[in-house]
Amino acid sequence: MKKVQLFLISTIMLFLLAMSGPVMAADMLPAALKAGKPYNGKTIDVFLCCPKTGQFQQWYNFTPEFTEMTGIKVNYHWQPWGNAQEKIMTEFVSDTGAFDVMIYLDAWGPGYQNYLEPLNKYIKRDGIDINNWPPAFINGAKYGKEGNIYGMPVRGHAQLLFYRADIFDKLGLKVPKTFAELETVSKKITSETDLHAMAYYYGRGAQAQNLMVWMTYLWGNGGDLFDDNWKPIFNNARGLEATKRYTGMLTDLKVVPPNAVNFAEGEARKSVMQGESAMTISWWWAYANMTDPKKARPEVVKGLGFAAVPGWEGRESGTYALSMPLGMAANSDAKDASWEFIKWISNNKELQKKIALDTNFPNNVVSLNEAFQDSEINAHWKGIQKTAFAGLKNSDVMPMIMEWAEISTVLETSINSIASGKDVKSELDKAAIEVEGIMEREGYY
Amino acid sequence: MQSKAATKYILILPALLVLAATTIYPFFSALILSFRYWRMNKSPVPGKFVGFDNYTRAFSDPNFWNSMVVTLRFTLISVVLTILLALVMAIFLRQNNRANYFFRTLLILPFAMAPVLKGFTWKFMLNDYYGIYDYIIDHLLPFAADINWLGDPFWAQFWLAMTEVWGWAPYIALVFIGALSVIPQETLDAAEIDGCSHWQKIRHVMIPQIMPVVIIMTLLKTIYSLKMFDAVVSLTGGGPGRATETLNYFVYKTGFRFFDMGYASALAWILVFIFFIFAMLYERTLMRERR
């Protein structure tokens, strides 16, 4: 009897030990992924833009790990940035069901909300804390009257000032903290070197990129686009002052390349990378790009520094943040599997860390607060994540309304006209009338 | 006899079906949409019938009129310069010799280039730092060194037109060379005997005889210029301001950036109406010449 009892007890213990393997493994699955491969064999289609983006390339490269953990296969569909918005909308409207998951720009989100699956119930079900991401990124994924979340932030950007630290050292300049200091150092750089001081970008036709720095000036001066009743106020005294200062770097101070009238953000970056300009204000992700020895001049690679974007004198600095959420199509027939993928990409500090530390595909972008503050990631990237994180505290996003595409076109055209020499007040007033017309037509008043 | 007639229709049926699906259906679908309200970002299906609201909106939209003016101005500049340059090239290259055969072969190359690529190429060539055209102009005309070619509204329009001239003039020159080659030699000999100078022969003998071809090519070029789109996308993005925002580009932005499909369809049909007028002129001129 004792032998039988012993046999039974040891069998039960062995059984429990064997079963604890999968249970332990389940506890160790990252990103709150579901254990036991409940969606094994499912295939999802993921739409990504910008095939050359290191971060996206790495998602693709690490996908076999995701498939191993979950049994879910992933097909990737790539589209250049310039056509991504139309491609997504075309697929939504024609209800092809071509994509289950898609990346999109936050500003496009309101226009997609009728076609995207709200993620609130999934977030609640899996106990995900949205405070794990910077508020500006979450704001970029929340639309509509109910304030539902339609995407998880996977790629988000803070603006930073990139500057040639070697030129600054040579001229004995301090990194500017205010726009006044920026103007002073710009004049000195332009007069004492062959470089243009600042590569701003005023060109139109590039997804309203010329508004990105303008917003920083506008908010920095305490201005805004709309009042509480959605009436345009960007042409008031503060807006006027901010716009004059922003465009004045080209038209008055002449410290910006003349071609900047046509620059998109990429061309401004190239102007610094090719050693033509000493500074630019761009997205933090650009650091990896601008210090890539295959793409930038050696002196730029060696000498490029970054700092917080200057602010308006006497006011707290507030910059424009941009994010790219990963959303789920409302017509997806693999929603749970899609959600697993979205979690794996967005809610996964280890993956973000692996990608940020991989030197094969230089990429400094992370989106989780934890990753922003990770000491190893910061050591690898000279602390850019912490600098960006600090900037994100006072950042905000463009108005998340359906009419933003049309309104941003009016504004970018106006900024471009001003940069090419037109009067600031008359252009802003004209734009305000047009924007008010759009809002009235769409039933805001 | 009847079965022969039926056979020919059966043989062209597949092509007609493809044409119906890719051209005729979207054509009339857009016409119906132009009378409806439809914002794709608000609804996946077209909304209510709004009558002529989209058309009246166009006629009271300053951006529509801006795009009309830009389109007509662009068309005038590009057509006039293209036809003049094509005539000059044709007159120079009409003689049959080895050198002219070689140059005539090169003439097709600009036309063979994709229009959007033309825009990108010209954008590079006009760049202030590394553009070859900018470099040459700065050295030949120092007073023009500070001009920002694509940042100035006038010059942006000019260079947009130049991309068209560069692409079309050589091709049209080939057509004119063909027309010049069938001019009866007797008329040229008679002019020479009568003491005409070379310039008088060109002006009073050659050009009048090829005038029907010149008119047809002018109309054809006009139709193509009215629908200018590709180079706007790649060269200027419609800027600076709205200086190069042609009507076709405005239609694209309205439909595929603002997702206002009802209004975009109305704008597209206004453009179709303008094409229709020129297409009728082209057809009548062609038929008259054939008779």
Q: What's the pLDDT tens digit per position in B125-177?
A: 998 778 898 889 988 998 888 888 988 899 999 999 999 999 999 999 999 99
Q: Report yes or no: B237 at the A interface, CB cutoff 8 Å.
A: yes
| Residues of chain A contacting B39 with CB distance shorter than 8 Å | 402
Question: Are both A209 and A94 inside the same structural domain?
Answer: no
Q: Is the pLDDT of residue A151 over 70?
A: yes
**Is A23 inside any structural domain?**
no
The CATH code of the domain that includes A309 is: 3.40.190.10
Phi, psi of B60 (to 5 degrees): -105, 10
The H-or-E segment that residue A323 falls in is: strand A322-328
Using the beta-carbon criterion (under 8 Å), do B260 and A406 form an inter-chain contact? yes
**Is A392 inside any structural domain?**
no
Q: How many structural domains does chain A have?
A: 2
**Is B2 inside any structural domain?**
no
**Is B124 inside any structural domain?**
yes
| Residues of chain A contacting B238 with CB distance shorter than 8 Å | 204-205, 413
B264 touches B247 (CB < 8 A): no
Q: Is the pLDDT of residue A20 over 60?
A: no
Query: Domain range for residue A267?
Result: 159-320+403-441
pLDDT tens digits along A217-229: 999 999 999 999 9
- B13 or B286: which leads in pLDDT: B13
Using the beta-carbon criterion (under 8 Å), do B259 and A405 form an inter-chain contact? yes
Option in A86, A258, A274 nearest B151 (CB) = A258
**Is A54 inside any structural domain?**
yes
Query: Domain range for residue B115?
Result: 62-290
**Is B27 inside any structural domain?**
no
- Return mean pLDDT, chain B: 90
Q: Is the interface score ipTM higher than 0.90?
A: no
Length reported for chain A: 445
**Is A8 inside any structural domain?**
no
Token pair belonging to B186: 């007797």
The CATH code of the domain that includes B109 is: 1.10.3720.10
**Is A14 inside any structural domain?**
no
Using the beta-carbon criterion (under 8 Å), do A262 and B236 form an inter-chain contact? yes
Question: Are both A183 and A295 inside the same structural domain?
Answer: yes
Least confident of A122-131, A174-183, A194-203, B186-195: B186-195
Question: Are both A112 and A248 inside the same structural domain?
Answer: no
| Mean pLDDT value of segment A317-336 | 92
Q: How many structural domains does chain B have?
A: 1
Q: Is the pLDDT of residue A25 over 70?
A: no
Question: Are both A310 and A342 inside the same structural domain?
Answer: no
Whether pTM exceeds 0.90: no
> For A50-123, where are the E strands, in sequence order?
73-79, 101-103
Question: Are both A151 and A178 inside the same structural domain?
Answer: no
**Is B232 inside any structural domain?**
yes
Question: Are both A414 and A280 inside the same structural domain?
Answer: yes
Question: Are both A145 and A123 inside the same structural domain?
Answer: yes
Q: Report yes or no: B201 at the A interface, CB cutoff 8 Å.
A: no
| Residues of chain A contacting B256 with CB distance shorter than 8 Å | 85-86, 89
Sheet bearing A151-157, strands edge to edge: A73-79, A43-49, A101-103, A322-328, A151-157
Please tell me the predicted confidence (pLDDT) of residue A3: 67
**Is B33 inside any structural domain?**
no
| Residues of chain A contacting B239 with CB distance shorter than 8 Å | 203-205, 261-262, 413, 416, 420
Token pair belonging to B101: 């055969």
Question: Are both A435 and A371 inside the same structural domain?
Answer: no
| Residues of chain A contacting B146 with CB distance shorter than 8 Å | 258
Amino acid at A280: T
Distance CA A156, CA A141 (A): 11
Distance CA A363, CA A249 (A): 31
Question: Are both A204 and A261 inside the same structural domain?
Answer: yes
Q: Return the number of CB contacts < 8 Å for A and B.
A: 96
**Is A396 inside any structural domain?**
no
Distance CA A211, CA A272 (A): 20
Question: Are both A185 and A149 inside the same structural domain?
Answer: no
**Is A13 inside any structural domain?**
no
Question: Are both A204 and A332 inside the same structural domain?
Answer: no
**Is A373 inside any structural domain?**
yes
Distance CA B54, CA B187 (A): 56
Long-range contacts of B107-113 (CB under 8 A, 24+ apart): B107/B170, B107/B171, B107/B173, B107/B174, B108/B170, B108/B171, B108/B174, B109/B170, B110/B166, B110/B167, B110/B168, B110/B169, B110/B170, B110/B171, B111/B167, B111/B168, B111/B170, B111/B171, B113/B167
Using the beta-carbon criterion (under 8 Å), do A409 and B233 form an inter-chain contact? no
Using the beta-carbon criterion (under 8 Å), do A112 and B237 form an inter-chain contact? no
From the list A267, A268, A287, the residue with the least C-alpha distance to A278 is A268
Using the beta-carbon criterion (under 8 Å), do B44 and A110 form an inter-chain contact? no
- Evaluate the omega torsion of the peptide bond into residue A310 and state whether it is cis, within 30 degrees of 0: no
Q: Pairing between strand A43-49 and A73-79?
A: parallel
Question: Are both A408 and A280 inside the same structural domain?
Answer: yes
Token pair belonging to B81: 């310069």
* Sign of CA pseudo-dihedral B254, B259, B260, B261: positive
Q: Report yes or no: B127 at the A interface, CB cutoff 8 Å.
A: yes
Using the beta-carbon criterion (under 8 Å), do B151 and A259 form an inter-chain contact? yes
Q: Is the pLDDT of residue B188 over 90?
A: no
| Residues of chain A contacting B44 with CB distance shorter than 8 Å | 92-93, 95, 114-115
Count of CA atoms in the C-beta half-sphere (13 A) of A206? 22
Amino acid at A356: A
Residues 6+ positions from A126 with CB-CB distance below 8 Å = A32, A339, A343
